[in-house]
Amino acid sequence: VIIPPEVNMSGTIVCDNFINGSWVKGERGQQEAHSPYDGRVLGTFSSPSSPQISAALEAAAKAQVDWGRAPVKERSRVLYNFRQILLREFEAIAALKSSECGKTLDEARAGLNKGLEVLEFALSLQNLDLGGRLEVSRGVSCEFRREPLGVVANITPFNFPAMVPMWTIPIALALGNAYVWKPSDKTPLTARKIADALTEAGLPKGLFTVLHGDEKTVNSIIDHPLVKAIGFVGSTKVAKLVYQRGTQLGKRVLALGGAKNHIILLPDANQDLSGPGISDSFTGCAGQRCMAASVLLAVGDVQAHIDRIVQRASSLKLGTEFGAIITSDQVEFLKSAITRAEKAGARVLLDGRKATAPAGMEGGNWIGPTILDQVQPGSEAATVELFGPILSIVRCKDLSEALAIERSNEYGNACSVFTSSGPLADRVAREATAGMVGVNVGVPVPREPFSFGGMNASKFGHGDITGQHSLDFWSNMKKVTVKWEKQSESNWMS
């Protein structure tokens, strides 16, 4: 039997810290990673000490000098190899992601495909990000030169262990930076596959670093003078902390936070779109995604649509069509939130508290899809990000009332409308306070090159995390003005 290097003799994965091209045991202790499906130990990871973090960042800075000077076409060749390896390893990575964060296999595959799409966008930079040059006065030209920042860092949440990091890894590396990744301590293992794939692709050592741990690791990374930019994706509470800490040090930070996404359902909607679209939006990834439907603003008589949503959500099979919740504490929180909503007057149309674990997965973290009707605007179920498979229906008399509720929410990731009316859809697109709007689309994640990013308490900082708008975040645009000869006539610059 040939045992792959990342698997130890007990069959579990070892994912230590990836520092200067080697896997290094962290001096701050080792932890186990468990599967939300059944609680089994999937592997181990360890957190680095401060000196280990400094050594990693110094190695990254050293490696970046040469990489940053290489033409983008040269860097892209490594990323092209990376893509081929990810395609070869696609099923293995999807299986690991699925078992470490509780997604179904199909959901894990979809996330990886989105990551590959960002990688393909990054590969297009070698041909499309041409900068520009113009003769601005006689004998004087001005040009744009995009330059890397140096060492950049990214901190990611548990719910997309490959896709969210892949939003930034290819773009930051293609632009000539060294990349430091702090994965979630709840899903630390997929990092092993990504780092190994980059190494096999030929990425010089030091350019890709993995550092595990909690806020201590994050703060050491933010504070280190060699780290020039920080990307963050996670809850609003931590996004704010990271944004404040980084910007106080004068660093650029883009911190994506939590969400409370609204779907506006109008009576003229096509039921074949609204039923599956809304049900899949709140049940997909067991509700653990920042683009999940959370509040359904039901305008007028839409009962037939709601019946179809309930029917579809109730038919999902736990374990294969519907995934697990990240921790048992979160299951308890979700159950208690449903009970509180019920006490506050909501009607439970579908009760996930009654769901039982699939056979053989009794050690896992399970709750079924839940639909609450007659939820009051302003109540916990209508305003707080619960991050689970719970849809809160708020009844509204008209579109204006629905939009007023949507506009009063503190977040701003996604909002969708289901309708057959173009003008009403356009009104929602104009008036909703969300960075990403969908029309008859339950999860309005923009495809590349349209960039991903919300607004308000869902995003701190400027720009988006993928697509064209991410380029300026991960690079500096230098302006170079050139004159070779003294001009006979003077101009304003001479």
Instruction: Name residues whose C-beta falls within 8 Å of residue 241's C-beta, 6 or more positions apart in sequence.
Output: none
Is 241 a residue that touches ligand NAD (CB under 6 A)? yes
Is residue 290 annotated as part of the catalytic site, yes or no? yes
Closer residue to ligand NAD, CB minimum distance, 72 or 211: 211
Is 263 a residue that touches ligand NAD (CB under 6 A)? no
Least distance to ligand NAD, CB of residue 365, Å:
14
Binds ligand NAD (CB under 6 A): choice among 24, 63, 152, 256: 256
Beta partners for residue 318, in sequence order: 322
Radius of gyration of the chain (CA): 24
Closer residue to ligand NAD, CB minimum distance, 215 or 351: 215
Distance CA 297, CA 318 (A): 27
Is 247 a residue that touches ligand NAD (CB under 6 A)? no
Is 159 a residue that touches ligand NAD (CB under 6 A)? yes
Binds ligand NAD (CB under 6 A): choice among 44, 46, 76, 156: 156
Distance CA 13, CA 65 (A): 33
Is 413 a residue that touches ligand NAD (CB under 6 A)? yes
Minimal CB distance residue for ligand NAD:
234
Residue 365 contacts residue 378 (beta carbons within 8 Å): no
Closer residue to ligand NAD, CB minimum distance, 366 or 460: 460
Is 108 a residue that touches ligand NAD (CB under 6 A)? no
Closer residue to ligand NAD, CB minimum distance, 37 or 181: 181
Is 168 a residue that touches ligand NAD (CB under 6 A)? no
> Near ligand NAD by CB under 6 A, which window of 41-49, 210-218, 310-318, 483-491?
210-218
Q: Could you say which residues in the range 270-329 bind ligand NAD, by CB under 6 A?
A: 290
Is 454 a residue that touches ligand NAD (CB under 6 A)? yes
C-alpha dist (Å) from residue 369 to 54, 312, 330, 363 = 45, 10, 14, 19
Least distance to ligand NAD, CB of residue 101, Å:
10
> Near ligand NAD by CB under 6 A, which window of 235-243, 337-345, 373-381, 425-433?
235-243
Q: Which of 414, 409, 412, 413 is nearest to 394 (CA)?
A: 409
Binds ligand NAD (CB under 6 A): choice among 235, 314, 456, 476: 235
Out of 15, 101, 285, 290, pick the active-site residue.
290
Closer residue to ligand NAD, CB minimum distance, 167 or 322: 167
Number of residues located near ligand NAD, criterion CB under 6 A: 29
Is 157 a residue that touches ligand NAD (CB under 6 A)? yes
Distance CA 175, CA 152 (A): 11
CA atoms within 13 A on the CB side of 231: 31
> Near ligand NAD by CB under 6 A, which window of 104-112, 238-246, 264-272, 402-410?
238-246
Residue 338 contacts residue 368 (beta carbons within 8 Å): no
Closer residue to ligand NAD, CB minimum distance, 370 or 413: 413
Is 182 a residue that touches ligand NAD (CB under 6 A)? yes
> Near ligand NAD by CB under 6 A, which window of 16-24, 50-58, 159-167, 263-271?
159-167
Interface residues with ligand NAD (CB under 6 A) are: 155-160, 164, 182, 184-185, 214-215, 218, 233-235, 238, 241-242, 256-259, 290, 385, 387, 413, 454, 458
Which residues carry out catalysis? 290
